[in-house]
Amino acid sequence: MGTYVFVPGGWHGGWVYEDVCADLAQRGHVAHAVTPTGLDPQSPGESANLRTHIDDVVRHLASHDLDDVVLCGHSYAGMIVRGVVDSCPERLVGAVYIDAYVPESGDSCWSLTSDRFRAMFVAGSRRTGLLVDPPPGLDPRAVPHPLGSFMQELRLSGRDDDLHRCYIYLSRWRGSPFGAVYDRLRADPGWQTVELPTSHNIMQLDPGLLVDNLLRETAGWTAPVADARPRNGP
C-alpha cells in the first residue's frame, strides 16, 4: 500500500483529482488531494504566493501525520512540489512531476514558462491586478489564480538529494512548455521519465492511465533510512 498526495495546477483545486484518488483507494492505496490557498471554489480569491502554497502542503502532511509519501504535482504545482521536497523531505519517499515545471532555486513559474503563458498571465490579471482569471475552456469549477504564486521566485536549501524523482510528460497538446523539460530530464540518470501520448489534463481525461503509470513508476520506492531523518517544518 502506498500513500499519494496530489497538488493541482493553476486555477484548479484538489477536486481535479477526484477520480484519481478514488481509483487509488479502490486499489488499496491512501490518496489525498490538497487545494492550495485561494483555489477553493467555495472561497476563491484569497491572497497567496508560492510560499503560501508550499506551506499549505507541508501543513497537510503534518496535520495528517503522513510519512513515506509520493508527492505528485501537475503543471504549476511542480513549483510547489519542489518547495515541499526541500522543506520536509523526511515525510516523503519521492516526487512525481506530471507535465510540470521543475524549478531550481531562484526560478519562478513566470521565468520558466513560455511567452504564450506569460501573455496569458498578463491578460488574465488585468481585471484585478492580483488574480489571473482562468483561460477559456477549463472546468467550470476553475477559479482565478493568485498572481503572486506565478511570480514569486523559489528559494531552496538542497535537502532532497536522496529522494526518488519521476517526470511524466504528456506529449499530445499544442503549445506545451514542457517538451524541453522532458528532454533534459530523460538524459539525467537521477530521474525516471515517462512519455504518455495524451493531453495536459490527464487527471480528468484519463485518470486510469495516470494511476496505472504512477503505480508502475513508484513500485518499490522506499524512503532512504527514514527513521534516521530528523523532522522539520510544522
- Distance from chain centroid for Cα 159: 18
Quote the pLDDT of residue 195.
Answer: 98
Quote the pLDDT of residue 162.
Answer: 87
Quote the pLDDT of residue 232.
Answer: 42
Q: What distances in angstroms separate CA 229 from CA 16, 65, 210, one per listed residue?
A: 32, 15, 30
Residue type, 113: T
Q: What distances in angstroms separate CA 158 from CA 72, 84, 136, 155, one per listed residue?
A: 19, 11, 37, 9
Do the beta carbons of residue 204 and residue 228 sit within 8 Å? Answer: no
Give residue 230's pLDDT band: very low, low, confident or very high (50, 70, 90). very low
Q: How many CB atoms lie within 10 A of CB 1?
A: 7
Quote the pLDDT of residue 224.
Answer: 62
Instruction: Decide if pLDDT at 102 tops 50.
Output: yes
Question: Phi and psi (nearest 5°) for 83?
Answer: -70, -40
Do the beta carbons of residue 86 and residue 157 sit within 8 Å? Answer: yes
Q: Count Cβ atoms within 10 A of the Cβ of residue 212 and give its class: 0-12 exposed, 13-18 middle, 19 or more buried.
A: middle
In the numeric block, the cell 503534518 is attached to 62
The C-alpha atoms of residue 137 and residue 44 are separated, in whole angstroms, by: 19
CATH number attached to the domain at 3-228: 3.40.50.1820
The C-alpha atoms of residue 27 and residue 125 are separated, in whole angstroms, by: 41
Quote the pLDDT of residue 193.
Answer: 98
Quote the pLDDT of residue 42.
Answer: 87
Percent of the chain residues topping a pLDDT of 70: 95
- Distance from chain centroid for Cα 79: 7
Quote the pLDDT of residue 8.
Answer: 98
Enumerate the domain spans of the chain.
3-228
Give the residue-averaged pLDDT of 219-224. 82
Give the residue-averaged pLDDT of 51-61. 98
Quote the pLDDT of residue 225.
Answer: 47
Give the residue-averaged pLDDT of 41-61. 93
